[in-house]
Amino acid sequence: MAAQQPRGLRNNNPLNIRKGNEWHGERHPQTDPDFEEFKNLEDGFRAAFVLIRNYIRRRQPINTPRLIVQRWAPAHENPTNHYLQYVCKRAALQPDERLTFDQKNKICCLVWAMAEFECGCEFSFGRIENAYAMAARS
């Protein structure tokens, strides 16, 4: 039954973060050759928030839904335009709206919509807010 779940759920990595970093809450051993695996969904969401926070705070910020989605889901791997349209509609954001990480509700809505697109299912918004708080403290 678990194999029928989307990869992001099987890995507790709802935004399908690729391997390449050491993360708080990583599951060991890792069996997926390409994507991170976490002990629970909150740790997977927390990692997504940390990455987005880092994007926003770069010297050349990646700080709009359009820029974030283009970086997260490049066109050579994903239907990036469809992804962006979905996320903006679901999160009630404009594609070129500038975001700061301290805009908790907007950032949580963005991650919530991205996870929904990635996994094809809804997630508890409270769980996402908890993960945002974990990322904000780190």
Q: What is the pLDDT of residue 47?
A: 98
Answer whether residue 2 shows pLDDT above 70: no
Q: Which domain holds residue 111?
A: 2-137
Q: What is the mean pLDDT of the chain?
A: 96
Say what the pTM is: 0.95
The total of other beta-carbon atoms located within 10 Å of residue 63's CB is 18
Orientation angle between helical segments 80-91 and 104-119, nearest 10 degrees:
130
Asked if 115 and 30 count as a contact pair (C-beta separation under 8 A), the reply is no
> Look-up: residue for tokens 């974990």?
134
- Phi, psi (rounded to 5 degrees) for 30: -90, 130
Of residues 97, 132, 94, 85, the one with CA closest to residue 111: 132
Q: Which residue has the higher pLDDT, 1 or 92?
A: 92
Number of domains in the chain: 1
